[in-house]
Chains A and B, each alone.
Chain A
Amino acid sequence: MFQNEDILRAFQNTIVLAVISTLVATLLGTIFALAMERYPWGKRARGFLENLLYLPVVTPDIILAAALVIAFSLLRMVSSLFELGLFSMIIGHVTFQIAFVTLVVQSRLKGLGRDLDEAARDLYASSWYLLRKVQIPLLMPGIVAGAMLAFTLSLDDFVISFFTAGPNSQTLPLVIYGSVRRGVTPEIHALSTIVFLATILLVLGSERLTRRG
């Protein structure tokens, strides 16, 4: 199995996709949560933001996948960057990950209250200093939990990847699906077992982290 180049490339693609999309989604999701919670938005602006956030959570993922395929085919006319491949998959993954990161970070932010922010301001902290030395450290458990969730969602995803993948950007779930459909080789059993064990390790690891946090 470790000599099979397709599987090795798929392994590499899976990791690259999960890591990059998780980093982008964690950054955007955290900014979104901070901006949503820490400013006095009116009722309608807040409603708009919440709808934007819940949209990918409450629609079946096949809808987002189909919509992205159509959108990419048009965006390709603007730039060849949107050719189906790893880049388009990253965009797809980030789009559904943002909501989950934001929701996790938001619930942590709500739990923090405003006392520490006020205390920092009373001690003449600038906005930047407040963000760096107070908000981010306090939010860290939420950010890490959100990132873990996003990472597992990316590894777990099949539908979005299946629709937005190009010929050179197969990931492990896609390879497994393809060989299940074609009739299976023993390699796939080994591969499935490894993916399964990796999932167990990730789950146990994140359990540890969140219980400590």
Chain B
Amino acid sequence: MNQLLVWYGELTSRSALTRRGLFQLIVPVLWLLLFLVLPSMLLVGVAFMQRGAYGEVVWSFSLENLQRLLGYGLFGWSPDNMVILARSVWVAFVTTLVSVILAYPLAFFIASRPSRTRYLWLTLVIIPFWTNLVIRTYSWQLLLAPELPPARIAAFLHLVPPDSALYPSSFAVYIGMISAFLPFVVMPLYSSVERLDWSLVEAAHDLYAGPARVFSQSVLPQTLPGLVVGIILTFIPAMGMFVIPDLLGGAKYLLVGNLIQQQFFSSRDWPFGAALCIGLVLLTLLALGIYRRQGRNVDLA
């Protein structure tokens, strides 16, 4: 079907356009196939292989790694891996929830500043957004050190023994995660809040809606696009995070990211690491699936 057509002011044929388009696409697409799709397929393949005595991959089919993922090991069933996977989902969920709760007032606060100071506030949000995560996490170690007020106050209230740091602990992991991901929710949410149609909020007030009704009926629907982007930008990376739990949680509060990292470094067990990666991806997809279904229900209501 080599019909002639006018495309962006050029008289050409469909097949000529396709040929030229493919020619342009070939390098970037080949790059992504070779370094993105092929590695992902290999990852799935390796998850079904066995580990050799020296940490090499033995190319023979086995379901052992998936069984280990579910907790069936050499010494019978143990819940350790499942606990870590469930904890990762839970931490990602709490991080996302708290970030959203904090981000709403913050986004409204920034949007209500006069335009001169608004850029200043926005810059204050953007700078941690772009600062290297290792540096930010390390600075939390410094802030939670035993000599500083947070640890002193906690010791005074008998929450921790005196002269001890507040990390490694689950508390430190949550603090680190929430502070790391807050900008990822605030930024997209702010861009929605900035375009908010206030007449709809006023209309809700005029119709005697209480604060909860005003939020759910006029603010939430209008800020939903930004909120969705913020939740996705937070939840997915939070699931695979390993720097923060590594530096702030220590061995006490492992997440699946730490477990994957261990398999690829200290334990040299790539097949099990690959199986963990697949578990992580499946959980992420599952969570996003549930979230999308819930989102659709909200839309209908």
Could you tell me which A residues sit within 8 Å of B by CB distance? 28-29, 31-32, 34-36, 38-41, 49, 52-53, 55-56, 58-64, 66-71, 73-74, 91-92, 94-95, 98, 114, 117-122, 127, 152, 155-156, 158-159, 162-163, 172-173, 176-177, 180-181, 184, 188, 192, 195-196, 199-200, 202-204, 207
B208 at interface (Cβ–Cβ under 8 A)? no
Q: Is the interface of A mostly helix, strand, loop or mixed?
A: helix
User: Closest Cβ of chain A: how far from B177's Cβ, in Å?
Assistant: 13
Residue from the list A29, A52, A61, A196 in contact with B135, Cβ < 8 A: A196
Give chain A residues whose Cβ lies under 8 Å from the Cβ of B243.
158-159, 177
Give chain B residues whose Cβ lies under 8 Å from the Cβ of A181.
247
Residue from the list B9, B24, B138, B241 in contact with A180, Cβ < 8 A: B138
With CB as the reference atom, state the residue of chain A lying closest to B141.
A180
B169 at interface (Cβ–Cβ under 8 A)? no
Residue from the list B9, B18, B28, B239 in contact with A29, Cβ < 8 A: B28
Interface residues in B88-137 (C-beta closer than 8 Å to A): 119, 123, 126-127, 130-135
Known contacts A34-B24, A39-B20: A158-B132 contact under CB 8 Å: yes
Contact B28–A31 (Cβ < 8 Å)? yes
Give chain A residues whose Cβ lies under 8 Å from the Cβ of B131.
156, 196, 199
Known contacts A62-B240, A62-B277, A152-B130: A70-B43 contact under CB 8 Å: yes
Contact B239–A60 (Cβ < 8 Å)? yes
Give chain B residues whose Cβ lies under 8 Å from the Cβ of A28.
27-28, 31
Interface residues in B36-54 (C-beta closer than 8 Å to A): 36-40, 42-43, 46
B14 at interface (Cβ–Cβ under 8 A)? yes
Known contacts A60-B237, A60-B239, A173-B132: A41-B9 contact under CB 8 Å: no
Contact A64–B284 (Cβ < 8 Å)? no
Give chain B residues whose Cβ lies under 8 Å from the Cβ of A119.
9
Known contacts A66-B273, A71-B38: A180-B247 contact under CB 8 Å: yes
Contact B127–A68 (Cβ < 8 Å)? no
Contact size class for B? 35 or more
Which one of B199-207, B209-217, B257-265 is at the A interface?
B257-265
With CB as the reference atom, state the residue of chain B lying closest to A88.
B35
With CB as the reference atom, state the residue of chain A lying closest to B17.
A39
- Taken together as a complex, chains A and B put the C-alpha atoms of A120 and B241 apart, in Å, by 49
Give chain A residues whose Cβ lies under 8 Å from the Cβ of B37.
52, 55
21 contacts between A and B (CB under 8 A): A32-B25, A35-B21, A38-B21, A39-B20, A40-B14, A60-B239, A62-B240, A62-B257, A63-B280, A64-B39, A66-B273, A69-B264, A71-B35, A95-B32, A98-B28, A173-B133, A176-B132, A176-B135, A180-B134, A199-B131, A203-B127
- Taken together as a complex, chains A and B put the C-alpha atoms of A74 and B236 apart, in Å, by 28
Known contacts A62-B260, A180-B247, A199-B131: A40-B17 contact under CB 8 Å: yes
Contact A91–B134 (Cβ < 8 Å)? no
- Taken together as a complex, chains A and B put the C-alpha atoms of A6 and B9 apart, in Å, by 57
Residue from the list A49, A66, A98 in contact with B43, Cβ < 8 A: A66
